[in-house]
Chain A
Amino acid sequence: MSRVGDSPLSLKIKEHVRAYLFLLPALALLSVFVIYPIAGTISISLRSEEGFTLGNYIAVVTERSPTKALIISENLGGAPPWGALLHNAVWILVHVPATTALGLVLAYMLTHVYGRSVVKSLIFVSMVIPMVVGGLIIRFIFDGQVGVIPRLMGGLGLEDLARTWTAYPETSLASLIIGSIWLWLGFSLTIHSAAVDNIPRSYIEAARIDGASELQIFRYIVVPAVWPATLTVAVMTLLWDLKIFDIVYAATQGGPGGSSTVLAYVMWLYFARALDYGKAAATAVILTILTLVAAAYLVRRSLGVEKR
């Protein structure tokens, strides 16, 4: 009589059972604090007076009031509000390339500078301060009376830009985006600096001897060498831009007239102002799905790197 426990298949099963036993405590915690709330949110978002429908989603997407709308197509081409979702999109389109490129260029330029660690630390401070404080600082930077930027614009004779940016729909979104470039630059710079420092010095020296100009060295040697870091920075920045809430809340409250509102802020309005949990949950689900797409890429990439 052969013992069942000896066959390779049952050994494999045993192995799996043991693995899940070890995972059980963590799984239990995750179920209570992550999986259940997610399921709950989805369920709330689908529930309305008529039972389970997509009503909340349709309502959220077709909302037309400037403070809560996701897309206001009729304003396109003119000044904001364009709708929260489009604000996020514009934010990403401007912020991600700007922060990534600026951090990369600055990181390489700083390798030529004496006392670069001081400069790096100063820039990194923006990463350490809480985002809410960052939002308040943005308000001050763009304040018509005391702000640096309006003063500068006034000095240059640009009277339209010499006022409080956050108070006008034409400039409020721009002020937040520019401010966020400053806030996020420390991260981009730090990651890129580490990557630049990792480039073997001989690569750059070989290129210099080969007669490459600084620009060619940057283009052909530095950029390819730090590309993985650049992708990471870009995706992280993109994720942050999708989820952005705190600096909007602190600096403009999405205003004036919804001209700087974003997805997460709309969700918060439904949740905390309108007390409409169904719509808040629907907005949250939309936001999560968008974020997951970017996050999935990041996770897959980091797993791929580990495999190598």
Chain B
Amino acid sequence: MASVRLESVVKRFGRTIAVDRVSLEIGDGEFFVLLGPSGCGKTTTLRLIAGLEYPDEGRVYIGGEDVTYREPGERNVAMVFQNYALYPNMNVYDNIAFPLKVRRRKLGLSNSDIRERVLEVARMLRIEELLDRKPGQLSGGQQQRVALARALVRRPSVWLMDEPLSNLDALLRIAMRAELKRLQKELGITTIYVTHDQAEALSMADRIAVMDRGRVMQVGSPQEVFLEPRHVFVATFLGSPPMNIVRCRISYSQETAQISCPGFTRIVPQTVGEGEVYLGIRPEFIKIAPHSGEGALRAEVLVVEPLGVEKIITASLDGETQIKIKTALDVEVKPGDTIYLELDWSRVSVFDAESGRILETLTKELREP
């Protein structure tokens, strides 16, 4: 068991910067997820921790020890690969035993010790009856379990996973999600998990780091990154559909400032500067009002998408700006209807239009009732 710390780590491939001054602190026993679109540097960050890449700048610590330039085999980390990387010529038993066999002398293990430990993890992952099969004879889910077993057999201090569920079918993926999380909590292994799937991240993580173009945009609990995005990128990457972003202007009129958005304006109690901002509100926090009233926004329905238990409505605020609303299935609207929307102002976020960063004071002001 160990904590992991990255100190302003930089990794370049030729001219592109894959990882740009990333600093992270991952606690002992934590389930930490690196989330981001493809090419955001999350896998490279994981590989830097594993030792498969060496950083150009910065340092990597595992358990307080500087391992920046240490060989991957000497970091006591285990990794589960996206394609599982099971050795096709060995049977399941030999695959799981491999990490112990190659370091047998160093670990001082006898054959029966190895056997015992392989059987132990096989039992834990319920693959005992598969031990003499070859990986090619296993289903995707079984291969996944073998890969997990191989990673666990050496009792690593850090467990690294690179999109381990992405090759499974949807149902199995959801089942494995719960199982992985249970396993991780049971064993208490510090886990760093890379994924581009926000549902995976939100459902499993203790904390999430959202990455974009090599940088960490925000680190926080699933709820924090979902409800309190620090950056427009985080707001628009998470959620399905993601947060609505509306371009607004702040202007002065005498004592008070005013935020004017397409279709509505609102007085801001205190002056907060001038210029363009983005107003963000999640589709979940917009309600359809029965009729026009104070503070209700007029909108025209463009598209209605029923999704089983809920509906996603795309509406237009001023003919141009589109906004998505998540409602219950029984809300009866159809394209062309005029509807009135109520925003839950306690859930809005305002971002600087240039940097994309959250404007904290303004957000706080707007959220005040």
Q: Which A residues lie within 8 Å of B71 (CB)?
A: 208
B52 and A208 within 8 A (CB): yes
- B97-152 interface with A by 8 A CB criterion: 98-99, 102-103, 106, 150
A212 and B87 within 8 A (CB): no
- Identify the stretch in B54-62, B76-84, B300-308, B358-366 within 8 Å (CB) of chain A at 4 or more residues: B76-84
Contact of B72 among A200, A209, A220 (CB under 8 A): A209
Q: Given the known inter-chain contacts A203-B87, A224-B89, please indicate yes or no for A211 contacting B81, CB distance below 8 A.
A: no
Chain B contact residues: helix, strand, loop or mixed: loop
Q: Which A residues lie within 8 Å of B74 (CB)?
A: 211
B98 and A212 within 8 A (CB): yes
Per-residue interface assignment for chain A, residues 191 to 218, with 1 indicating a CB less than 8 Å from any chain B CB and 0 otherwise? 0000000001011011111111100100
Residue in A205, A221, A227 whose Cβ sees the most chain B Cβ within 10 Å: A205
> What CA separation (Å) do A220 and B102 show in the bound complex?
10
B199 CB-CB contact with A under 8 Å = no
- A169-211 interface with B by 8 A CB criterion: 200, 202-203, 205-211
**What distance in Å separates the Cβ of B233 from its nearest Cβ neighbour in chain A?**
29
> What CA separation (Å) do A213 and B105 show in the bound complex?
13
Contact of A209 among B51, B82, B90, B106 (CB under 8 A): B51
B77 and A209 within 8 A (CB): yes
A136 CB-CB contact with B under 8 Å = no
A236 CB-CB contact with B under 8 Å = no
**What distance in Å separates the Cβ of A190 from its nearest Cβ neighbour in chain B?**
23
A161 CB-CB contact with B under 8 Å = no
Q: A206's closest neighbor in chain B, by CB?
A: B85
A213 and B85 within 8 A (CB): no
Per-residue interface assignment for chain B, residues 149 to 163, with 1 indicating a CB less than 8 Å from any chain A CB and 0 otherwise? 010001000000000
Contact of A208 among B73, B82, B150 (CB under 8 A): B73
Q: Which B residues lie within 8 Å of A205 (CB)?
A: 50, 52, 72, 79, 81, 85
Q: Which B residues lie within 8 Å of A220 (CB)?
A: 87, 90, 98, 102
A210 and B73 within 8 A (CB): yes
Q: Given the known inter-chain contacts A203-B85, A224-B89, please indicate yes or no for A211 contacting B103, CB distance below 8 A.
A: yes
**What distance in Å separates the Cβ of B192 from its nearest Cβ neighbour in chain A?**
13
> What CA separation (Å) do A128 and B306 show in the bound complex?
66
A42 CB-CB contact with B under 8 Å = no
> What CA separation (Å) do A205 and B78 show in the bound complex?
11
A61 CB-CB contact with B under 8 Å = no
Contact of B83 among A202, A212, A216 (CB under 8 A): A202
Q: Which B residues lie within 8 Å of A208 (CB)?
A: 51-52, 71-73
Which 10 A/B pairs are nearest by Cβ-Cβ distance? A211-B73, A210-B99, A224-B89, A202-B85, A206-B85, A212-B102, A202-B81, A211-B103, A209-B72, A208-B72
Additional A-B contact list (16), CB under 8 Å, known A200-B85, A209-B78: A202-B85, A205-B72, A205-B81, A205-B85, A206-B79, A206-B85, A208-B51, A208-B52, A208-B71, A209-B72, A209-B73, A209-B79, A210-B102, A211-B154, A221-B87, A225-B88
Show 24 residue pairs from A and B whose CB-CB distance is below 8 angstroms, ordered by the A residue: A202-B82, A202-B85, A205-B52, A206-B79, A206-B81, A206-B150, A207-B87, A209-B50, A209-B51, A209-B78, A210-B98, A210-B99, A210-B150, A210-B154, A211-B102, A211-B103, A213-B102, A216-B102, A220-B87, A220-B98, A220-B102, A224-B88, A224-B89, A225-B88
